[in-house]
Amino acid sequence: MASALMIIDVQRGMFEFPQPLYRPDETLARMASLLARARTTGIPVVHIQHDGGPGHALGKGAPGWPHHPAVAPAAGEAVIEKRHSSAFHDTDLDRQLRAAGIDRLVICGAQTEMCVDSACRAAVAHGYRVALVSDGHTTFDTPVLKAEQIIAHHNQLFGHGFLEVVAADDVRF
């Protein structure tokens, strides 16, 4: 069986909200490096793209809909469009992964407590081994918690045996 890199919702609109993502440039650079490594070694890449619906910054056709150029899909890479937080809900992601013989997902992207969290949990529920890139996911501050706290919380929570948590430089495909 094989690994795949999954990049979640790294779309232009995520970088255009009035409130900035936590460490967007650093996180984006790590994701781009992972993508380059995956491509160089022939690891399958799955790009997840969120459609927030009409009027939403990430709505299909809106200026924020396209993938960020630093991690945009190359020809032949899978793109899964989703309407829900989980990349598995109402999509053919599971079917595509199984058809490709994928049993492990290396996950990075945005938004930590929403779509990244949902993808990790759903992937484990579907029987995949999951590696969350600890320094390869990001989010926004909330009225309750700072983004840095949300990211640290998820890394700590998931790192207690639910799935593998690994820094970008330590990812092995």
Dist CA 140 CA 62 (whole Å):
21
Whether 109 and 31 have beta carbons less than 8 Å apart is answered as yes
Q: Assign 100 to helix, strand or coil.
A: coil
How many CB atoms are located within 10 Å of the residue 149 CB?
14
- Determine whether 95 is exposed, middle or buried from the number of CB atoms within 10 Å of its CB (0-12, 13-18, 19+): exposed
Catalytic residue among 46, 115, 151, 171: 115
Q: Is 108 noted as a catalytic residue in this protein?
A: no
Dist CA 48 CA 106 (whole Å):
13
Distances in Å between the Cα of 126 and the Cα atoms of 46, 50, 77, 145, 159 are 16, 20, 22, 30, 19
Judging by DSSP bridges, how do beta strands 102-110 and 2-8 pair with one another?
Answer: parallel
Q: Catalytic positions, please?
A: 115
